[in-house]
Amino acid sequence: MYSIISRQQLNPTVVSMEIHAPLVARKAQPGQFIILRVHEEGERIPLTVAGTDPEQGTVRIIFQIVGATTKLLGEKKAGESISDFVGPLGRATETEGLKKVCIVGGGVGCAIAMPVAQKLASQGCEVTSIIGFRNRDLVILEEEFKACSAKTILMTDDGSCGRQGNVTVPLKELLEQGERFDRIFAIGPLVMMKFTVAAAKPFGTPVTVSMNPVMIDGTGMCGGCRMTLNRNGEKVVQFACVDGPEFDGYEVDFDEAMSRGRMYADFERHAYEETCNLLNKEVQ
């Protein structure tokens, strides 16, 4: 069992937890993920490592309550435990040699982008961070990004905080004004990453995207996280859990990834509703 050291509600649907997992904390790097189960009969879900404290033996996870398992996890309190916490899995973010980068984060994807920005800044890299949310109430980690970035641009769809618009607006402005980055890291909804890649393409700026498809075992055996890359004119199948989760944004077939991501939407919604009903009955 893995103890929950702390729990913090970042916004109405996003929760941050510190989990006591010393072996994971000792090895995990930005870009990698873990797979957990809330209880012994629960489903496995992947969550990106949002930070570690090797001395305290803790791993930070930040997740959005969108399905049955995240609903159960979100109900947990500090001092309680979860059944399994396996990792680190996947490949760590490649940061060596980068001197100037742009981090583009959307929604809860900012939780994945933040440790990447922090590591780059610790290596002396100049970081520009563009983070976007639907509205003021959903903003998370703004101060953390400001602390590790030379420039932080906050965007909201409705203009209730920061600038109004999506994250590609300031990215295009910077590139058109002559800013040049060694690499852009785009992490967030698939459609956001797709259009970030499109915005960077005319300037030839390399773009790394972080993919988060359905994963079950985290070893590539189940095939659930397979994705198609268009590499040198050929279609290549790879697995996000072992070959990623980060990929060259110019190679990713985003349309296929979005289609696959919608396959289980109805099932997940039904499972979420059943879980909510069960938890309500327990409270009563």
The domain limits of the chain are 2-89, 100-210
State residue 192's pLDDT score.
94
> Per-residue confidence at 61, pLDDT binned at 50, 70, 90?
very high
Q: What is the pTM of this model?
A: 0.87
Angle at 152 between CA 108 and CA 163, to 5 degrees: 80
**Closest to 149 in 3D by CA, of 185, 180, 109, 118:** 118
Q: Please tell me the CATH code under which domain 100-210 is placed.
A: 3.40.50.80
Q: What residue type is 150 in one-letter code?
A: A
Bridge-based pairing state of the strands 234-239 and 58-64: unpaired
Q: Is 235 exposed, middle or buried (0-12, 13-18, 19+ CB in 10 A)?
A: exposed
pLDDT surpasses 70 at 68: yes
Angle at 39 between CA 260 and CA 243, to 5 degrees: 40
User: Coil, helix or strand for 64?
Assistant: strand
| 3-state class (DSSP) for residue 243 | helix
Residue 282 has pLDDT above 60, yes or no: no
Percent of the chain with pLDDT over 70: 92
pLDDT category at 273 given cuts 50, 70, 90 is: low
Strands 2-11 and 14-20 come out as: antiparallel
CA angle 239, 240, 242 (to 5 degrees): 75
CATH number given to 2-89:
2.40.30.10
Mean pLDDT of the chain: 90
User: Regarding predicted confidence, which is higher, 281 or 251?
Assistant: 251
99, 105, 137, 173, 221 from 128: Cα distances, Å: 11, 11, 23, 13, 37
pLDDT tens-digit readout, 156-186? 999 999 999 999 999 999 999 999 999 999 9
Lowest-confidence pick of 101-105, 153-157, 197-201, 264-268? 264-268
